[in-house]
Amino acid sequence: MIALSRAAFTAAKVPTQTALVALIALTLVACSTGASTTNSDSLAATDTWAKAAESGMTAAFGQITNSSKNDILIVSATSPAAAKVELHEVVDSTMRQVDGGLVVPAGSTLTLQPGGFHLMFMGLTAPLVAGDDVSITLTLGDGSKLTFTAVAKDFTGGNESYDGEMSMAPSEDMEMGEGPMISPSASLGS
Ligand SMILES: [Cu+2]
pLDDT digits (tens, 9 = 90+) for 12-66: 555 556 665 555 555 555 445 455 689 999 999 999 999 999 999 999 999 999 9
Note whether 87 and 31 are same-domain residues: no
Distance 161 CA to ligand 1 centre (A): 10
How many structural domains does the chain have? 2
Note whether 56 and 21 are same-domain residues: no
Integer distance in angstroms from the first to the last C-alpha of the chain?
A: 69
Cβ atoms 114, 155 nearer than 8 A: yes
What is residue 147's predicted lDDT score, i.e. its pLDDT? Answer: 98
Note whether 79 and 154 are same-domain residues: yes
> Where does the pLDDT of residue 81 fall: very low under 50, low under 70, confident under 90, or very high at 90 and above?
very high
Note whether 79 and 8 are same-domain residues: no
What is residue 156's predicted lDDT score, i.e. its pLDDT? Answer: 82
Q: What is the mean pLDDT of residues 86-90?
A: 97
Higher-confidence residue: 44 or 182? 44
Amino acid at 131: G
Distance 153 CA to ligand 1 centre (A): 17
Note whether 92 and 143 are same-domain residues: yes
Maximal CA-CA distance, the chain: 76
What is residue 166's predicted lDDT score, i.e. its pLDDT? Answer: 45
What is residue 167's predicted lDDT score, i.e. its pLDDT? Answer: 40
Distance 66 CA to ligand 1 centre (A): 23
Helices (H), the chain: 2-32, 39-42, 159-163, 171-176
Structural domain for 58, as ranges:
39-178
Residue 78 to residue 76: CA distance in whole angstroms: 7
Distance 144 CA to ligand 1 centre (A): 24
